Chain A
């Protein structure tokens, strides 16, 4: 059972454009939602994370929008750059000690120059 669904599977954006990746979760007990970025040949690395007490979190060009009632959250990359080309994974877990992350299927982002 896939508890975190991510879309789209792949995304092509022009340099300077906005990249948007969406995730939906099923388990209402989840209360920690990170996004990971993975470059080819490397392991995923934490990009940004949000907890449901806020509806939006921004770090530089990266923003998470969170909709608790819809059980959805999304990653927005403003002014997308070729260096942002990577695979992005959303994830979710309970925000408690020992909890395990459930990952989405991943989105391969390509930003064309």
Chain B
């Protein structure tokens, strides 16, 4: 089973460039999330979606945009990359309802130079 798949896995960007991270899940989950992980700061929520066609801001949304046109896909965009956006990005999904397990992808390593 594929679970949650993120592409690309690694990317180096120049300051000011744009890019899109793609997340795909094959578990028919309602909720999807984008987190960033930085040393000593845990996992911080960037944006999330509670269903197809919906998006909402998390803790650290500035500089990012998202879209969920299809239930299985959640895209994270950086319109003008900054060095502060160098991080490891994780997509996650879970079924609807309470207390359900969140399933994470394997991460996307982004470096902005």
Residues of A within 8 A of B (CB): 6, 9, 32, 34, 41-46, 49, 51, 89, 95-101, 103-106
Which residues on the A side are within 8 Å of B106 (C-beta)? 41-43
Which residues on the B side are within 8 Å of A101 (C-beta)? 45, 102
Which residues on the B side are within 8 Å of A42 (C-beta)? 106-107
Question: Does B45 contact A6, Cβ atoms closer than 8 Å?
Answer: no
Question: Are A97 and B104 also in contact (CB < 8 A) when A44-B43, A104-B42 are?
Answer: no
Residues of B within 8 A of A (CB): 4, 31, 33, 40-45, 48, 50, 58, 90, 92, 96-99, 101-102, 104-107
SS class of chain A's interface: helix, strand, loop or mixed? loop
Which residues on the A side are within 8 Å of B44 (C-beta)? 103
Question: Does A95 contact B99, Cβ atoms closer than 8 Å?
Answer: yes
SS class of chain B's interface: helix, strand, loop or mixed? loop
Which residues on the A side are within 8 Å of B33 (C-beta)? 100
**The residue from A9, A44, A49 contacting B90, defined by CB atoms under 8 A apart:** A44
Of all chain A residues, the one with the shortest Cβ separation from B96 is: A97
- Contacts beyond the supplied A98-B31, A105-B40: 19 A-B pairs with Cβ under 8 Å: A6-B42, A32-B99, A34-B101, A42-B107, A43-B4, A43-B92, A43-B105, A45-B104, A46-B101, A89-B42, A97-B96, A97-B97, A100-B33, A100-B48, A101-B45, A101-B102, A105-B41, A105-B42, A106-B40
Question: Does A89 contact B43, Cβ atoms closer than 8 Å?
Answer: yes
